[in-house]
Amino acid sequence: MQGIVLISVAMCLVPSLGWAQTPQRCKSPDLFTGGITVATQDEKVYAVGKYAYDAINQRIHLGEMGTYDHKNFTYEVLMLYKEGVMYMIHRHNQTCEKVALQSKFTPLEVPLDASFMSQVVLGTLAYPEQGLVVNVWTGQMPDNSGTYMMSFTELGCLPVSGFFQPKTNGHGMRSHSYFDNVLGVKDPDAFVPPPFCQSAKLKVNRDGKRADFFSVFQ
């Protein structure tokens, strides 16, 4: 798994030729769904699943299956930033953990302070419909907690990949890959906690760990 991550990083570091102008920061759509994979550098975490993204109401839903330290897991995460809460949902036994989010909503788009790194082609532009132009950006993670390298499509500004290196040790670098993106959210109920979550009591944190988007993958 670590080899796959390193190959992906190397791909992002190879600049394409032929573009005279530096791409400008783009604005991603406010509503879309798709698939996501997550892996950590120490290979303890690998997950794949679906996600729904709503920048208007500041909501993210993740439904994932994966492995942590060679053990399988299946759960859902619902982050409601305007309410300041995050739900860890386990449908197999209908249990729900409700914790206070400890970060502000960060849009899944090119950050305002990002620096352009390179423009690459996934596939080839030698033939029609066989290549995808992607722009790579770098910068500091929110709250100066680490660094990131993210890529977005030149047309549409949809996320392709992200590499995040936190300052703390943790699991080291995390890689995110996004695929099968579809504009809009067909199922608005994806952002509604299931009925069995109504009795969940709010916790300030979980075992003393920071509760935010990145803590989902710890």
The tens place of each residue's pLDDT in the chain, 218 residues long, gives 433 343 344 444 444 444 447 888 899 999 999 999 988 877 677 888 899 999 999 999 998 777 766 677 777 899 999 999 999 998 888 899 999 887 888 888 998 889 999 999 999 999 988 999 999 999 998 777 789 999 999 999 999 999 988 876 555 788 999 999 999 998 989 999 999 999 898 887 655 555 555 555 55
Closest CA to 81 of 105, 107, 106: 105
User: Do 47 and 64 meet the contact criterion of CB atoms below 8 Å apart?
Assistant: yes
Buried b (16+ CB within 10 A) or exposed e, 105-131: beebbbbeebeebbbbbeeeeeeeeee
195: left (phi over 0), alpha (psi -120 to 50) or beta: alpha
**Could you tell me whether strands 202-203 and 95-100 are parallel, antiparallel, or unpaired per DSSP bridges?**
parallel
Look up the CATH number of domain 2-10+21-217.
Answer: 2.50.20.30
Q: Look at residue 8 in the predicted model and tell me its pLDDT.
A: 46
Domain ranges of the chain: 2-10+21-217
Could you please report the per-residue DSSP string of 145-157? Answer: -EEEEEEEETTT-
Q: How much is the pTM?
A: 0.80
Residues 6+ apart with CB under 8 A from 67: 45, 46, 47, 73
